[in-house]
């Protein structure tokens, strides 16, 4: 078992949000495009799940972009915005999680 913790309330010049994005997109082409877009925000933790530590403005940008990328009749996307301190418990195979700055070009 591996655990990692975060605290978005730490005194930083820019406060960040911990965001979990889980999706089920039917069309392969749209799903690939969606996952490429999410790579610009955070990192993949499972086949259809991404985690990110982003600013409020990047969060708003992400929320604005999602509706245009999916079929609202067939697809499902859930975005969890988490503030404060938290903990994730990992069981089984998992990638090593590092706290790094994500830059979108």
Give the distance between the most distant pair of CA atoms in the chain.
42
Residue 64: what pLDDT?
Answer: 93
Distance CA 27, CA 32 (A): 9
For tokens 């610009």, name the residue: 40
Query: What's the distance, CA 55 to chain centroid?
Result: 12
Question: Among the listed ranges 45-54, 65-74, 91-100, which one has the minimum average pLDDT value?
Answer: 91-100
Distance CA 82, CA 70 (A): 23
Phi, psi of 95 (to 5 degrees): -80, 150
Q: Percent of the chain scored above 70 by pLDDT?
A: 68
Domain ranges of the chain: 38-82
């Amino acid at each position: 078992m591996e655990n990692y913790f975060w605290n978005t309330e730490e005194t930083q010049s820019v406060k960040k949000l911990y965001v979990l994005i889980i999706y089920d997109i039917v069309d392969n082409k749209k799903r690939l495009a969606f996952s490429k877009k999410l790579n610009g925000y955070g990192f993949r933790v499972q086949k259809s799940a991404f985690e990110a530590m982003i600013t409020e403005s990047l969060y708003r940008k992400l929320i604005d972009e999602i509706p245009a990328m999916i079929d609202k009749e067939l697809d499902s996307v859930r975005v969890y915005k988490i503030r404060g301190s938290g903990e994730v418990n990992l069981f089984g195979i998992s990638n090593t999680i590092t706290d790094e700055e994500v830059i979108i070009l």
